[in-house]
Amino acid sequence: MHFRFGFLSYEISHVIRQRFNKNAEIIGITHSQWRVLVHLSENPNCRQVDLADILDIKPITLVKQLDQLEARNLVRRIKDSDDRRVYRLELTANALPVMQKLWDIADRVEAEVLGALTPDEQALVIRLLCRVKGAICGKEPDMS
Amino acid sequence: MHFRFGFLSYEISHVIRQRFNKNAEIIGITHSQWRVLVHLSENPNCRQVDLADILDIKPITLVKQLDQLEARNLVRRIKDSDDRRVYRLELTANALPVMQKLWDIADRVEAEVLGALTPDEQALVIRLLCRVKGAICGKEPDMS
DNA sequence: TAATATAGTAAGCGAGGGGTATTATATTTG
DNA sequence: CAAATATAATACCCCTCGCTTACTATATTA
């Protein structure tokens, strides 16, 4: 018998992404852009290369997401005065109310998806997944 | 405070997919194709439209996956004699040893990713996620 | 000063997924 | 039975997300 944890987590996160995207369509933000906004809000004033690392994507991938978010006036690139190669990233004032709406959507979708579990079970599964993520975060599997 | 279950499940499943894809690259099978094979093995002799529904993808998306799997001689389309519009899908004999290798990879990746949890906790988180998936499977969120 | 490293970006590619329209075949309805 | 409708698979074209490679500008190191 095999575990199926991979399929389970994939299929559940897929449903969450789909529902988020559908609900956030009128705002014009995708789940991937949403990830950028949230992680940026938690790491203000960071460089693009840092944010890409946090998001576990390549810098060039982040460039395009930022282009779109900047075009929507949600994010600003600010030239660093010490190192003129780098941009510092920050959310615009305009981003705050938009993110509030997106958090509402995200919370609602999650509540629906987790509806089959009691609040205690919800907290438990999140705690367990946090440990899983913490353990693999940044670490490659042992290839020896 | 927000839940983060969406990000957690997404990021964990993303790591699993990446590691699976890297390990299965020499076999030439992606995680998406792997999903097709597994769900087909559990629903032998089904129609394409049924399998697409099980996988929660559109039939046209499945067509391309099946084209690749058929080219790799892992899957066969068989004309249904009762309804000449439909194909019945089946794994080839050739698929069995390949799937054995892929299960080995999948199991190994999962064991690594879940390594931070005790066996009891692993079983627990899988049980909880099974309930979550069972509850949302096929159901749209209540939009009333 | 020369070699090397780093931050951001352009160009172009591929996987995965989808919308719409088409063809062939069933099914339902007048 | 004939006509309208529904269904299964698919062709064509598009999108998003992510990548590799190569380039420019700037820092850092030898």
Query: Which amino acid does the sequence have at A102?
Result: L
- A142 has pLDDT over 70: no
User: pLDDT per residue over A72-108, tens digit each?
Assistant: 999 999 999 999 999 999 999 999 999 999 999 999 9
User: pLDDT per residue over A48-79, tens digit each?
Assistant: 999 999 999 999 999 999 999 999 999 999 99
Of A9, A19, A56, the CB nearest to B9: A9
* pLDDT band for position A139 (cuts 50, 70, 90): low
Distance CA A102, CA A95 (A): 10
Subunit contact A9:B16, Cβ cutoff 8 A: yes
Q: Which residue of B has its CA nearest to A102?
A: B2
DSSP-based three-state secondary structure for B47: strand
User: pLDDT per residue over B87-101, tens digit each?
Assistant: 999 999 999 999 999
- The distance of B140 to chain A (nearest Cα, Å) reads 9
Q: What is the DSSP string of A75-98?
A: EEEEE-SS-TT-EEEEE-TTHHHH
Please check whether the domain covering B9-136 is classified as CATH 1.10.3720.10.
Answer: no
Q: How many CA atoms lie within 13 A of A12 on its CB side?
A: 31
CA of A105 to C1' of D10 (A): 36
**Residue in B1, B2, B10, B57 to test binding to A, most A beta-carbons within 10 Å:** B10
Query: Which amino acid does the sequence have at B48?
Result: Q
* pLDDT band for position A13 (cuts 50, 70, 90): very high
Confirm or reject contact between B123 and chain A (CB < 8 A).
no
> How many CB atoms within 10 Å of residue A133?
18
Handedness of CA B61, B64, B68, B73 (dihedral sign): positive
Instruction: Provide the pLDDT for residue B5.
Output: 96
Q: pLDDT below 70 — which residues of chain B?
A: 138-144
Query: Which amino acid does the sequence have at B4?
Result: R
Distance CA B96, CA B88 (A): 18
Subunit contact B114:A132, Cβ cutoff 8 A: yes
Instruction: Provide the pLDDT for residue B139.
Output: 53
Instruction: Provide the pLDDT for residue A3.
Output: 79
Handedness of CA B115, B118, B123, B125 (dihedral sign): negative
- Spatial CB neighbours of A26, under 8 Å, sequence gap ≥ 6: none
Residues of chain A with Cβ-Cβ distance to B53 below 8 Å are none
Instruction: Provide the pLDDT for residue A27.
Output: 93
Please check whether the domain covering A5-136 is classified as CATH 2.40.100.10.
Answer: no
Instruction: Give, in order, the Cα–Cα distances in Å from A74 to each of A8, A59, A67, A92, B39.
Output: 33, 19, 10, 5, 41
